[in-house]
Structures are given as C-alpha cells and as structure tokens.
C-alpha cells in the first residue's frame, strides 16, 4: 500500500502503537524517523500535519491524522478486510465493537497514565541521562498495580481483554508494557497469573516483534 507514511521515532510508545497496527493488518508503509533531539517535530512542514508538534503523524492518499489511537482506528476501518478483526470479532456487530472500545478507554484513561510515567523513568530517563524519581516510580507502581488487579480478574474470564480474540484493546497496551518489562519491572505483570499469560501471548505476536526490531532504526 504505497503512500502510507508514519512520522516519528519507533522508540516512541505512541509511534509503536501505530506501527504494530499496520503490521497486524499487513499494510506497507514508510517510516519517517524524526530526530526529536534536533526539533524535527517542530519544523513548519511537520506542523502542517501535526499542529501540536508531537508524534506520531500519519498520511495516506486520503487523509492526514495525528493521535495514535485515532490513527489505529482508521487503519482498522480502512483495512477491515485484512488481517485480524481488531475492532471486534467478525460478525459480532455493535456489541463486539463496544467491548473493544470499552477496554481501549480503560487503556487510555486508567492504564496509560501510570504506565507512561513508569516507562519514562525506567526506560527513557536512563537513555537521556536524566535522574530517576523513586517517589514517582513508587507512586505509579501502586496506581498501575491496582489497574492490573482489575485486568487480572477480567483475564480470568476471557483470553483477551475484549473477549476471546486479540483486538486493538490488547494491542494498545503493548508499547508501555514493553518498556516497563524491558526496564526491569516485569514482576508487575508476572506476579499476576492471568496478566502474565496475556502478556506472554500478546508480546509474542509477529507484528509486535517486527515493531520492536524497528526500534533500532536510526533517525532520518
């Protein structure tokens, strides 16, 4: 699918979310790996695509978009006939879609904030030569633990968050969870039986492995 471009570094959790979605759907794309340290995301040309000067941004032959979850929904709708049915099982109708949207909201409203703080301090801060904040880490470990307790109960009832099929709700958790696990806090997932099983399965998906491989790509 020529003409699909994603702008942003693959080390960005939000960019990762979009890349994983494209890989799941089997959509060819061009990654424009911006160097944020050089302010490439604040250039006049980029601001025409992403007026807030953040990543990712997305373009294809029909539209320009920003905000990773909106981009992923667009990809899932546009390429509904490709790959897994990430917005609800095929033939499931509004109820199946609503289950996915419900857990996508849980990710963005409950999981994202504490997991983003943890990912920053344990994965990104060391790369940037910045000090960690033990108090912030402890505070957000507690917050995230409470969210994962809810997830553990849910995942005791179904294979994935929105049911028995992998969906965008599961995919959306991958970036932050990856950096938390890679940063040495994997026990938060491993200590919860159902969450551990879920994480092992979703993080082993070929699309996610391809996304992680791209994180070593140099900036443009």
CA separation, residue 166 to residues 13, 152, 161, 192, 220 (Å) = 19, 16, 8, 19, 33
What does the pLDDT read at residue 1? 40
Nearest to 99 by CA among 168, 33, 5: 168
pLDDT (average), residues 111-136:
92
Report the percentage of the chain scoring pLDDT > 90: 78
What does the pLDDT read at residue 78? 96
Tell me if the pTM is above 0.75. Answer: yes
What does the pLDDT read at residue 220? 54
Residue 130 has pLDDT above 70, yes or no: yes
Residue 2 has pLDDT above 80, yes or no: no
Report the percentage of the chain scoring pLDDT > 70: 97
Residue 59 has pLDDT above 70, yes or no: yes
- Residue 217: which pLDDT band, with cuts at 50, 70 and 90? low
Instruction: Output the average pLDDT for the chain.
Output: 93
pLDDT (average), residues 151-165:
97
Domain 93-207's class?
mainly alpha
* Residue 59: CA count within 13 A, CB half-sphere: 11
The neighbouring-strand residues paired with 58 are: 6, 65
Residue 212 has pLDDT above 50, yes or no: yes
Q: Find the Cα–Cα–Cα–Cα dihedral 164, 168, 169, 173, rounded to 10°.
A: 120
Residue 178 has pLDDT above 50, yes or no: yes
What does the pLDDT read at residue 190? 97
- Residue 122: which pLDDT band, with cuts at 50, 70 and 90? very high
- Residue 132: which pLDDT band, with cuts at 50, 70 and 90? confident
Nearest to 199 by CA among 216, 213, 182, 215: 182
User: What is 5-83's CATH topology?
Assistant: Glutaredoxin (3.40.30)
Domain ranges of the chain: 5-83, 93-207
The neighbouring-strand residues paired with 30 are: 5
**90-106 residue pLDDT tens:** 777 899 999 999 999 99
Residue 63 has pLDDT above 50, yes or no: yes
Nearest to 12 by CA among 55, 41, 46, 47: 55
């Amino acid at each position: 699918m020529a003409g699909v471009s994603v702008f942003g570094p693959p080390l960005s959790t939000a960019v990762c979310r979009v890349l994983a979605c494209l890989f799941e759907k089997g959509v060819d794309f061009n990654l424009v790996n911006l160097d944020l340290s050089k302010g490439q995301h604040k250039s006049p040309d980029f601001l025409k695509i992403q007026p807030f000067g953040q990543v990712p941004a997305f373009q294809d032959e029909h539209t320009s978009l920003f905000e990773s979850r909106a981009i992923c929904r667009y990809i899932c709708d546009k390429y509904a006939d490709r790959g897994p049915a990430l917005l609800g099982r095929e033939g499931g109708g509004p109820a199946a879609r609503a289950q996915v949207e419900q857990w996508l909201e849980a990710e963005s409203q409950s999981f994202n904030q504490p997991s983003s703080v943890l990912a920053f301090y344990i994965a990104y801060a060391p790369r940037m030569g910045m000090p960690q904040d033990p108090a912030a880490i402890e505070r957000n470990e507690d917050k995230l633990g409470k969210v994962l307790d809810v997830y553990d109960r849910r995942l005791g009832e179904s294979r994935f968050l929105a049911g028995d099929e992998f969906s965008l709700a599961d995919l959306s958790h991958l970036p932050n969870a990856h950096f938390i696990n890679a940063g040495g806090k994997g026990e938060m997932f491993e200590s919860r039986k159902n969450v551990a099983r879920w994480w092992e399965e979703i993080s082993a998906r070929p699309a996610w492995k391809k996304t992680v491989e791209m994180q070593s790509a140099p900036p443009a």
